[in-house]
Amino acid sequence: MSLEIITSNALDGVAHGFFTRKGGASSGVFEGLNCGLGSTDQSDIVKINRARVAKAMDLTPDQLCAAHQIHSADVAIVTGPQSGDVPKADALVTDQPGLALVILTADCQPVLFADRDTGVIGAAHAGWKGAAAGVLEATIEAMETLGAKREAITAVIGPSISQRAYEVGPEFFEDFYAENPIYARFFTNGSGDRYLFDLPAFGLYRLREAGVGHAEWTRHCTYFDPSRFYSYRRSVHRKEADYGRLISVIRL
Protein backbone atom coordinates (compact mmCIF):
# COMPACT_ATOMS: atom_id res chain seq x y z
CA MET A 1 0.00 0.00 0.00
CA SER A 2 1.34 3.41 -0.93
CA LEU A 3 1.65 6.28 1.52
CA GLU A 4 -1.25 8.70 1.86
CA ILE A 5 -0.31 12.35 2.28
CA ILE A 6 -2.75 15.14 3.08
CA THR A 7 -1.67 18.54 1.78
CA SER A 8 -3.15 22.02 1.88
CA ASN A 9 -3.54 24.37 -1.06
CA ALA A 10 -2.74 27.17 1.38
CA LEU A 11 0.85 25.87 1.51
CA ASP A 12 1.29 25.47 -2.24
CA GLY A 13 4.89 26.04 -3.22
CA VAL A 14 6.22 24.61 0.06
CA ALA A 15 6.84 20.87 0.25
CA HIS A 16 4.75 19.50 3.12
CA GLY A 17 2.50 16.67 4.16
CA PHE A 18 0.31 15.38 6.94
CA PHE A 19 0.90 11.62 6.58
CA THR A 20 -1.87 9.18 7.47
CA ARG A 21 -1.17 5.68 8.84
CA LYS A 22 -1.49 4.07 5.40
CA GLY A 23 1.49 2.48 3.70
CA GLY A 24 3.62 1.62 6.72
CA ALA A 25 5.36 -1.55 7.88
CA SER A 26 4.05 -1.73 11.46
CA SER A 27 1.57 -4.37 12.63
CA GLY A 28 -0.82 -5.02 15.51
CA VAL A 29 -2.18 -1.90 17.21
CA PHE A 30 0.49 0.05 15.31
CA GLU A 31 -0.60 -1.28 11.91
CA GLY A 32 0.54 1.16 9.26
CA LEU A 33 2.95 4.09 9.23
CA ASN A 34 3.80 4.42 12.92
CA CYS A 35 6.62 6.98 13.14
CA GLY A 36 6.87 7.18 16.92
CA LEU A 37 10.24 6.04 18.21
CA GLY A 38 8.82 6.60 21.69
CA SER A 39 6.16 3.94 21.16
CA THR A 40 6.63 0.28 22.09
CA ASP A 41 6.67 -0.67 18.41
CA GLN A 42 9.84 -2.31 17.10
CA SER A 43 12.37 0.49 16.58
CA ASP A 44 13.68 -1.07 13.36
CA ILE A 45 10.16 -1.03 11.91
CA VAL A 46 9.62 2.60 12.96
CA LYS A 47 12.90 3.50 11.24
CA ILE A 48 11.64 1.80 8.05
CA ASN A 49 8.47 3.88 8.27
CA ARG A 50 10.40 7.10 8.76
CA ALA A 51 12.66 6.21 5.82
CA ARG A 52 9.54 5.85 3.66
CA VAL A 53 8.41 9.29 4.77
CA ALA A 54 11.82 10.77 3.97
CA LYS A 55 11.77 9.20 0.50
CA ALA A 56 8.29 10.58 -0.14
CA MET A 57 9.62 14.05 0.73
CA ASP A 58 12.69 13.52 -1.51
CA LEU A 59 14.98 13.46 1.51
CA THR A 60 17.23 11.09 3.40
CA PRO A 61 16.19 10.03 6.93
CA ASP A 62 18.94 12.17 8.51
CA GLN A 63 17.34 15.28 7.02
CA LEU A 64 14.22 14.75 9.14
CA CYS A 65 14.59 17.09 12.12
CA ALA A 66 12.47 16.30 15.15
CA ALA A 67 11.96 17.24 18.79
CA HIS A 68 11.47 15.38 22.05
CA GLN A 69 7.93 16.66 22.56
CA ILE A 70 6.97 17.58 26.13
CA HIS A 71 3.67 19.54 25.80
CA SER A 72 5.47 22.85 26.29
CA ALA A 73 5.69 26.21 24.54
CA ASP A 74 9.40 25.68 23.81
CA VAL A 75 10.71 26.20 20.28
CA ALA A 76 14.02 25.01 18.80
CA ILE A 77 15.73 26.75 15.88
CA VAL A 78 17.17 24.15 13.50
CA THR A 79 20.37 25.16 11.71
CA GLY A 80 21.58 21.82 10.34
CA PRO A 81 21.04 18.05 10.36
CA GLN A 82 20.52 16.65 13.84
CA SER A 83 22.86 14.22 15.54
CA GLY A 84 22.56 12.70 18.98
CA ASP A 85 19.74 13.78 21.26
CA VAL A 86 17.05 15.97 19.74
CA PRO A 87 15.97 19.13 21.59
CA LYS A 88 13.20 19.00 24.19
CA ALA A 89 10.64 21.26 22.57
CA ASP A 90 7.24 21.26 20.91
CA ALA A 91 8.02 23.37 17.88
CA LEU A 92 10.82 23.73 15.36
CA VAL A 93 11.69 26.53 12.94
CA THR A 94 14.31 26.89 10.22
CA ASP A 95 15.39 28.93 7.23
CA GLN A 96 17.70 26.21 5.90
CA PRO A 97 16.79 24.50 2.59
CA GLY A 98 17.05 20.72 2.58
CA LEU A 99 15.96 20.25 6.18
CA ALA A 100 12.52 18.90 7.05
CA LEU A 101 10.76 19.75 10.29
CA VAL A 102 8.88 16.83 11.81
CA ILE A 103 6.03 16.70 14.34
CA LEU A 104 4.41 13.56 15.77
CA THR A 105 0.79 13.48 16.94
CA ALA A 106 -2.09 11.16 17.80
CA ASP A 107 -4.99 13.60 18.49
CA CYS A 108 -3.01 16.78 19.26
CA GLN A 109 -2.75 19.41 16.55
CA PRO A 110 0.16 19.21 14.10
CA VAL A 111 0.60 22.76 12.78
CA LEU A 112 2.76 23.62 9.78
CA PHE A 113 3.85 27.22 9.15
CA ALA A 114 5.47 28.95 6.20
CA ASP A 115 6.45 32.42 5.08
CA ARG A 116 7.22 31.79 1.42
CA ASP A 117 8.56 35.30 0.80
CA THR A 118 11.38 35.09 3.32
CA GLY A 119 11.90 31.31 3.18
CA VAL A 120 11.14 30.49 6.82
CA ILE A 121 9.13 27.48 7.98
CA GLY A 122 7.90 26.09 11.28
CA ALA A 123 6.15 23.06 12.74
CA ALA A 124 4.40 22.77 16.10
CA HIS A 125 2.86 20.08 18.28
CA ALA A 126 -0.12 21.77 19.91
CA GLY A 127 -2.26 19.77 22.27
CA TRP A 128 -4.50 21.67 24.66
CA LYS A 129 -1.65 22.18 27.10
CA GLY A 130 0.86 23.47 24.58
CA ALA A 131 -1.71 25.64 22.80
CA ALA A 132 -2.83 27.18 26.09
CA ALA A 133 0.81 27.75 27.09
CA GLY A 134 1.47 29.65 23.85
CA VAL A 135 3.38 27.24 21.61
CA LEU A 136 1.72 28.63 18.47
CA GLU A 137 2.61 32.22 19.29
CA ALA A 138 6.13 31.15 20.30
CA THR A 139 6.59 29.44 16.93
CA ILE A 140 5.57 32.62 15.12
CA GLU A 141 7.97 34.70 17.23
CA ALA A 142 10.82 32.27 16.53
CA MET A 143 10.10 32.49 12.80
CA GLU A 144 10.26 36.27 13.08
CA THR A 145 13.78 36.04 14.52
CA LEU A 146 14.76 34.33 11.24
CA GLY A 147 13.22 37.13 9.20
CA ALA A 148 9.63 35.97 8.69
CA LYS A 149 6.85 38.56 8.57
CA ARG A 150 3.90 37.70 10.78
CA GLU A 151 1.30 38.89 8.29
CA ALA A 152 2.90 36.74 5.57
CA ILE A 153 2.81 33.50 7.56
CA THR A 154 0.41 30.73 6.55
CA ALA A 155 -0.47 28.20 9.26
CA VAL A 156 -2.30 24.93 8.64
CA ILE A 157 -3.61 22.61 11.36
CA GLY A 158 -3.57 18.97 10.28
CA PRO A 159 -5.61 15.95 11.42
CA SER A 160 -6.61 16.42 15.07
CA ILE A 161 -9.27 15.23 17.47
CA SER A 162 -12.59 16.97 16.76
CA GLN A 163 -14.97 18.46 19.30
CA ARG A 164 -17.51 15.62 19.24
CA ALA A 165 -14.80 13.18 20.37
CA TYR A 166 -13.09 15.37 22.97
CA GLU A 167 -15.01 15.06 26.24
CA VAL A 168 -13.51 16.82 29.26
CA GLY A 169 -14.44 17.37 32.89
CA PRO A 170 -15.84 20.53 34.50
CA GLU A 171 -12.46 21.44 36.01
CA PHE A 172 -10.98 21.57 32.48
CA PHE A 173 -13.64 24.08 31.42
CA GLU A 174 -13.21 26.08 34.63
CA ASP A 175 -9.46 26.42 34.11
CA PHE A 176 -9.93 27.72 30.58
CA TYR A 177 -12.72 30.07 31.65
CA ALA A 178 -10.58 31.46 34.47
CA GLU A 179 -7.80 32.15 31.98
CA ASN A 180 -10.15 34.01 29.63
CA PRO A 181 -13.97 33.95 29.67
CA ILE A 182 -13.98 34.20 25.87
CA TYR A 183 -12.68 30.62 25.79
CA ALA A 184 -16.17 29.42 26.76
CA ARG A 185 -16.97 29.57 23.03
CA PHE A 186 -14.81 26.47 22.48
CA PHE A 187 -16.97 24.28 24.75
CA THR A 188 -20.39 22.73 24.37
CA ASN A 189 -22.33 20.57 26.80
CA GLY A 190 -21.59 16.86 26.86
CA SER A 191 -23.20 14.15 28.98
CA GLY A 192 -23.90 14.95 32.64
CA ASP A 193 -21.43 17.52 33.91
CA ARG A 194 -19.02 16.89 31.01
CA TYR A 195 -18.10 19.27 28.20
CA LEU A 196 -16.90 18.81 24.62
CA PHE A 197 -13.81 20.88 23.78
CA ASP A 198 -13.07 22.17 20.27
CA LEU A 199 -9.28 21.95 20.07
CA PRO A 200 -8.89 22.92 16.38
CA ALA A 201 -11.15 25.96 16.82
CA PHE A 202 -9.05 27.00 19.83
CA GLY A 203 -5.89 26.62 17.74
CA LEU A 204 -7.35 28.67 14.89
CA TYR A 205 -8.41 31.37 17.33
CA ARG A 206 -4.92 31.61 18.84
CA LEU A 207 -3.31 31.74 15.38
CA ARG A 208 -5.65 34.43 14.09
CA GLU A 209 -5.34 36.49 17.25
CA ALA A 210 -1.55 36.28 16.82
CA GLY A 211 -1.94 37.98 13.45
CA VAL A 212 -0.86 35.38 10.91
CA GLY A 213 -1.84 36.06 7.32
CA HIS A 214 -3.85 32.84 6.94
CA ALA A 215 -4.86 29.97 9.22
CA GLU A 216 -6.96 26.89 8.49
CA TRP A 217 -7.69 23.33 9.64
CA THR A 218 -7.75 20.41 7.18
CA ARG A 219 -10.93 19.20 8.97
CA HIS A 220 -9.78 15.61 9.47
CA CYS A 221 -10.69 14.02 12.82
CA THR A 222 -8.20 11.48 14.13
CA TYR A 223 -10.65 9.76 16.49
CA PHE A 224 -13.41 8.82 14.06
CA ASP A 225 -11.26 7.54 11.17
CA PRO A 226 -9.28 4.57 12.53
CA SER A 227 -8.29 3.27 9.09
CA ARG A 228 -6.38 6.50 8.38
CA PHE A 229 -5.34 7.97 11.72
CA TYR A 230 -3.90 6.98 15.09
CA SER A 231 -5.70 8.33 18.14
CA TYR A 232 -4.51 8.28 21.73
CA ARG A 233 -8.03 8.76 23.06
CA ARG A 234 -9.46 5.99 20.88
CA SER A 235 -6.71 3.63 22.07
CA VAL A 236 -7.63 4.39 25.69
CA HIS A 237 -11.32 3.75 25.03
CA ARG A 238 -10.44 0.44 23.34
CA LYS A 239 -8.07 -0.44 26.21
CA GLU A 240 -5.19 -0.98 23.79
CA ALA A 241 -1.66 -1.25 25.18
CA ASP A 242 -0.22 1.54 23.04
CA TYR A 243 -0.89 3.63 19.95
CA GLY A 244 0.91 4.78 16.82
CA ARG A 245 2.08 8.30 16.05
CA LEU A 246 1.27 10.21 12.89
CA ILE A 247 4.00 12.26 11.25
CA SER A 248 3.68 15.72 9.72
CA VAL A 249 6.53 17.22 7.69
CA ILE A 250 7.44 20.54 6.06
CA ARG A 251 10.60 21.50 4.17
CA LEU A 252 11.95 24.37 2.12
Domain membership flag for residue 34: yes
- Domain of 158, CATH number, reads 3.60.140.10
**Residue 212 — pLDDT band, cuts 50, 70, 90?**
very high
Domain membership flag for residue 183: no
**Number of domains within the chain:** 1
**pLDDT tens by residue, 94-142:** 999 999 999 999 999 999 999 999 999 999 999 999 999 999 999 999 9
Q: How far apart are CA 109 and CA 159, in angstroms?
A: 7
**pLDDT tens by residue, 135-186:** 999 999 999 999 999 999 999 999 999 999 999 999 999 999 999 999 999 9
Mean model confidence pLDDT for the chain: 97
Domain membership flag for residue 175: no
Q: In sequence order, what DSSP letters do the residues of 73-93 get, joined into one string? A: S-EEE--S---SSPPB-SEEE
* 148-151 contacts at long range (C-beta below 8 A, 24 or more positions apart): 148/115, 148/118, 148/120, 149/115, 149/117, 149/118, 150/210, 150/211, 150/212, 150/213, 151/211, 151/212, 151/213
**pLDDT tens by residue, 217-250:** 999 999 999 999 999 999 999 999 999 999 999 9
Residue 134: Cβ within 10 Å count: 16
32 near 222, Cβ under 8 Å? no
**pLDDT tens by residue, 73-89:** 999 999 999 988 999 99
Confidence (pLDDT) at 1: 79
Domain membership flag for residue 226: yes
Considering only CA atoms, which of 44, 172, 169, 160 is closest in space to residue 112? 160
- What mean pLDDT comes out for the span 24-42? 97
- What mean pLDDT comes out for the span 44-64? 97
Domain interval for residue 62: 5-162+198-251
Confidence (pLDDT) at 38: 94
Residue 205 dihedral angles phi and psi, to the nearest 5°:
-60, -45
Domain membership flag for residue 64: yes
**Residue 252 — pLDDT band, cuts 50, 70, 90?**
very high
Confidence (pLDDT) at 84: 86
- The model carries a pTM of 0.98
Domain membership flag for residue 173: no
20 near 13, Cβ under 8 Å? no
107 near 125, Cβ under 8 Å? no
**pLDDT tens by residue, 12-21:** 999 999 999 9
Domain membership flag for residue 76: yes
Domain membership flag for residue 176: no
R_g of the chain, CA atoms, integer Å: 17
